[in-house]
Amino acid sequence: MYEVYFHNFKKRVALTEEEEALIKSYLSVKKIRKRQFLLQEDDVCKTIAFVEHGMLRSFSVDDAGSEHILQFAAEGWFISDMLSFLTEEPATFNIEAVENSELVLISKSAHEELLKLSPKYETFIRELITNAYIALQKRINANNSQSIEERYEDFIHNYPDITKRVPQHMIASYMGTTPETISRIRKRLTTRK
């Protein structure tokens, strides 16, 4: 239930049994089924979700009703609408389960309490957020400087597991393109091989 969470935690910061028990007492576990929402746009995001098993995605919906995927989160990743979580403003993203999933959740109040109580929790969270920041920076730079073909190749190289687990239209949405374009790229890649 918390195995992946604490495995990830201890990779970054060592924990004694007491420290682990303290942190655990502030967490909650939740199962969520495929297509259920953890967060819907306009609601305030009250949790950070860590994926223990399964996969979630966050996305926005534009005025024309098209979805734009910001992030996928598989085992060992966390997902939230950080802007809404930190400012308590209405969320601009939706978070939905792509597969039946098991989550470790931390609420805003528990998160703040733990930041005060546990310097190790603070280190862990800071590393997670730093890594997420780096990933976002890379993604923005790639969007501005690389062709869609290069970005797709990078994606399937970096995330072979996600490529297998999510439908192609979602990858297209994540890349900011259409499923047809992704199909054409895939064809070109196979013929090239």
Partner 1 sequence: MIATQTIAIIGAAGNMGSAIAKSLAKGNYNLLLQASHVQKAQGVLNEIKKANPDISAEVINCSFEASWEADIIILAVPYQAEQVVAEKIREVANQKIVISVSNPLNSTYNGLLTNELSAAEELQDLLPNAKVVKAFNTTFKADFEKPFIKDTQVDAFIAGDNKEAVATVKELIETVGFRAVNAGGLSVSRTLERMQLLLIQLSVANNYNWHAGWKVLHN
| Residue from 13, 20, 31, 163 in contact with partner 1 (CB under 8 A) | 31
User: Kind and range of the H or E element at 113?
Assistant: helix 108-117
Does residue 184 belong to the site contacting partner 1 (CB under 8 A)? no
Q: Using CB under 8 A, which of the segments 75-83, 105-113, 116-124, 142-150 binds partner 1?
A: 105-113
Residues in the interface with partner 1 (CB under 8 A) total 23
CA distance 109 to 179: 41
| Residue from 11, 34, 86, 109 in contact with partner 1 (CB under 8 A) | 109
Q: Using CB under 8 A, which of the segments 33-41, 61-69, 167-175, 179-187 binds partner 1?
A: 33-41
User: Kind and range of the H or E element at 67?
Assistant: strand 67-73
C-alpha 57: how far from chain center: 6
Minimum CB distance to partner 1, residue 32 (Å):
8
Minimum CB distance to partner 1, residue 13 (Å):
21
Instruction: Let me know if 22 is exposed, middle or buried by CB neighbors in 10 A (0-12, 13-18, 19+).
Output: middle
Does residue 1 belong to the site contacting partner 1 (CB under 8 A)? yes
Minimum CB distance to partner 1, residue 154 (Å):
32
DSSP letters, 15-45, are --HHHHHHHHHT-EEEEE-TT-EEE-TTSB-
| Residue from 60, 92, 107, 163 in contact with partner 1 (CB under 8 A) | 107
| Residue from 15, 23, 38, 98 in contact with partner 1 (CB under 8 A) | 38
Measure the CA dihedral 67/70/75/78, to 10°: -120
43 vs 149 by CB, closer to partner 1? 43
| Residue from 4, 13, 82, 110 in contact with partner 1 (CB under 8 A) | 110
CA distance readout (Å), 48 to 63, 137, 159, 188: 27, 21, 22, 39
Strand partners, 101: 32
| Residue from 42, 88, 150, 180 in contact with partner 1 (CB under 8 A) | 42
CA distance 85 to 37: 16
- Kindly list the residues in this chain that would bind partner 1 in the complex (CB under 8 A): 1, 24-33, 36-43, 105, 107, 109-110
